[in-house]
Amino acid sequence: MFGIGMPELIIILVIALIVIGPKKLPDLARALGRGMAEFRKATQEIKESLAVDEDLESVKKDLVDGVSGLNGKPGAPETKKPTYEGYDQMVEEYRQSKQETGQSDEPQSAKEKNSGSTTDG
């Protein structure tokens, strides 16, 4: 325990008893124990938060890798799959490809309503 042996620990406790006094020593030890417990709890929460962040990064990477291969047409010969630096780059390229092909995000029924097919008869 911190390189302190039993004789050194006894000397420290005797000096603390003399300096602090027998009435305040239990309160001081209790406060010190509570402080250490709160510190351990905070440290554990930080470790869990970092683990969640690592999991989120791995999920983002898997998503980018999975979507990278979806740009080809069915039955088309295998071409070099694009690789993305990150999620934002993948989304931006997806939006650009939709604009180039003239596709929009509105449903097909809304497109038909807006086409205004009229017949003169």
Write down the pLDDT at residue 62: 81
In this predicted structure, what is the pLDDT of residue 77?
A: 53
pLDDT of residue 49: 84
CA distance 51 to 46: 9
* Residue 40 pLDDT: 94
- Give the integer Cα–Cα distance in Å for 97 and 20: 74
Q: Is 90 exposed, middle or buried (0-12, 13-18, 19+ CB in 10 A)?
A: buried
Query: Per the confidence metrics, is the pTM higher than 0.95?
Result: no
pLDDT per residue as tens, the chain (121 positions): 468 888 998 898 889 888 888 888 889 889 989 999 999 999 999 988 888 888 888 888 888 877 776 654 444 555 556 677 777 888 888 888 888 877 655 555 544 555 555 555 4
Number of helices (H), then strands (E), in the chain = 4, 0
Q: Which residues of 53-88 are buried (b: 16+ CB within 10 A; e: fewer)?
A: eeeeeeeeeeebeebeeeeeeeeeeeeeeeebeeee
